[in-house]
């Protein structure tokens, strides 16, 4: 992990950790890097944060000053940028978003020409340029200066692509959507309406400061209440840039990424389309998912947390579905990154195909309680290398005797250690997670 770029791009509080100068330099480097042998074409999307406009203009200034042409999708989703990059021949794409973070944060996600997240070597080079550790990049002059192009048609093409994926109409199905006052606000309802659903929408009036505020996938309770109050068949909640999706069944119960992987993975198996008879999960997936997959004879791989690692495994082993408990689900036949709206379409299609409700589709999975506590620390590496902390984790694993587990991992974006325990009861989760957390505090690693 670099100084600026984490597991999901360059992210931080706008004009504090991530400034307009940073964005300008990112644009300068990318415009030069991709334009060394030809006129670079780079497409930009953004979410609804107030600072996204500021960063968009800074990026455009940097790109065009280096000679690249900047194409603007305006407010759109991260997966739409990925789609347009790989289908319309762009050198790379940039999505301005901090995903599920609060409105005052923002981020830059750089996507390569294949629609995948930028490799670490290029990120490291950008960081060196930002810190003045490499020669200055020449300015483009005269006719070589780049231009800015309105490319809203790209977003419309992506909407059309989503509409083309389901093989069945959603006629008369009552669907609730929580757009998190983010990127999905301009896309999701149009797609479901076109497919024939009776679409009910909340949190689709962004004002620049209300993205993810008590709404969307990070605050699922708003959608749960909405679904039950309106007797809807199903509900879907997206995050700020709509690359993740969580669902709510007809009873208002949460259906997280693990359950979505089960439902959609089982459907792919039934269709004979589950390559290698395997789904790709992360180390955070619930033990209940694995037990349910064992019951129906589906295998699984486990990766580090982060959809980039999930996708890397999918490419290497030719797997077709993978994702995270948080709702980043990748269908490699259709996308190279998590796509919240696509995921919701796949769930509805599975419901219609099987003539079952979402509650019926998820019933075989018995999810184990999990408790996650974040501990802010001085040095993540020191905590992870401490043998006493490792022993505390091992002691918890022995106590649970294979019917649960303890997991300690570093945050990819914050000075935080995440301690998670999974066990048959909430009481056991609480008891065992405190054993590890208290050991970290006892050793003096935690900060207030």
Positions at the binding site: 99, 239, 241, 243
Phi, psi of 81 (to 5 degrees): -65, -45
Which residues have C-beta within 8 Å of that of residue 73, sequence separation ≥ 6? Answer: 43, 44, 45, 46, 80, 81, 84, 151, 152, 154, 155
Q: Is 411 one of the catalytic residues? A: no
Q: Using alpha carbons, select from 9, 202, 194, 170 the residue that is nearest to residue 101.
A: 9
To 5 degrees, how large is the angle CA 72–CA 75–CA 80? 80
Phi, psi of 233 (to 5 degrees): -80, -30
Q: Are 215 and 209 in contact (CB under 8 A)?
A: no
Sheet holding 92-96, edge to edge: 5-6, 9-13, 105-112, 92-96, 41-46, 69-75, 148-150
Annotated binding site for Mg(2+): 99, 239, 241, 243
181: left (phi over 0), alpha (psi -120 to 50) or beta: left
| Cβ neighbour number for residue 67 with a 10 Å cutoff | 22
435: left (phi over 0), alpha (psi -120 to 50) or beta: alpha
Question: How far apart are alpha carbons 25 and 217 in whole angstroms?
Answer: 32
Determine which one of 52, 97, 99, 186 is catalytic: 99
Element at 14 (helix H, strand E): none
Q: Using alpha carbons, select from 246, 201, 200 the residue that is nearest to residue 338.
A: 246
| Residues belonging to the active site | 99
């Amino acid at each position: 992990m670099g100084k600026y770029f984490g597991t999901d791009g360059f992210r931080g509080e706008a004009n504090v950790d991530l400034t307009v100068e940073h964005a300008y330099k990112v644009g300068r480097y990318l415009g030069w890097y991709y334009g060394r042998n030809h006129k670079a074409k780079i497409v930009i999307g953004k979410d609804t944060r107030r600072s996204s406009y500021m960063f968009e203009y800074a990026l455009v200034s940097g790109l065009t000053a280096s000679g690249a042409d900047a194409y603007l999708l305006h407010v759109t989703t991260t997966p739409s940028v990925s789609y347009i990059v790989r289908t319309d021949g762009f050198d790379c794409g940039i999505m301005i978003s901090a995903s599920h973070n609060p409105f005052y944060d923002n981020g830059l996600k750089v996507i390569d020409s294949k629609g995948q997240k930028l490799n670490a070597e290029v990120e490291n080079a950008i960081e060196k340029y930002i810190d003045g550790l490499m020669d200055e990049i020449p300015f483009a002059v005269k006719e070589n200066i780049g231009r800015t192009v309105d490319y809203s048609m790209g977003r419309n093409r992506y909407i059309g692509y989503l509409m083309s994926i389901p093989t069945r109409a959603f006629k008369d199905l009552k669907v609730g959507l929580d757009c998190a006052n983010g990127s999905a606000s301009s896309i999701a309802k149009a797609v479901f309406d076109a497919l024939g659903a009776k679409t009910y929408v909340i949190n689709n009036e962004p004002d620049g400061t209300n993205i993810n505020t008590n709404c969307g996938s990070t605050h699922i309770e708003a959608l749960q209440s909405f679904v039950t109050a309106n007797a809807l068949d199903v509900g879907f909640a997206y995050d700020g840039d709509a690359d993740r999706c969580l669902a709510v069944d007809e009873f208002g119960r949460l259906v997280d990424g693990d359950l979505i992987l089960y439902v959609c993975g089982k459907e792919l198996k039934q269709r004979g389309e589950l390559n290698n008879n395997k789904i790709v999960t992360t180390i955070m997936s619930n033990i209940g998912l694995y037990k349910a997959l064992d019951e129906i004879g589906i295998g699984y791989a486990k990766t580090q947390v982060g959809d980039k690692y999930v996708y890397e495994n999918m490419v290497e082993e030719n797997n077709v579905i993978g994702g995270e408990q948080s709702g980043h689900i990748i269908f490699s036949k259709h996308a190279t990154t998590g796509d919240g709206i696509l995921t919701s379409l796949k769930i509805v299609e599975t419901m219609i195909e099987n003539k079952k409700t979402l509650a019926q589709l998820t019933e075989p999975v018995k999810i184990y309680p999990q408790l996650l506590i974040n501990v802010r620390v001085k040095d993540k590496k020191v905590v992870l290398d401490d043998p006493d902390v490792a022993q505390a984790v091992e002691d918890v694993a022995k106590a649970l005797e294979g019917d649960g587990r303890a997991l300690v991992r570093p945050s990819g974006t914050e000075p935080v250690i995440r301690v998670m325990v999974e066990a048959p009861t909430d009481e056991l989760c609480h008891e065992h997670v405190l054993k590890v957390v208290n050991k970290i505090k006892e050793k003096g690693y935690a900060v207030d």
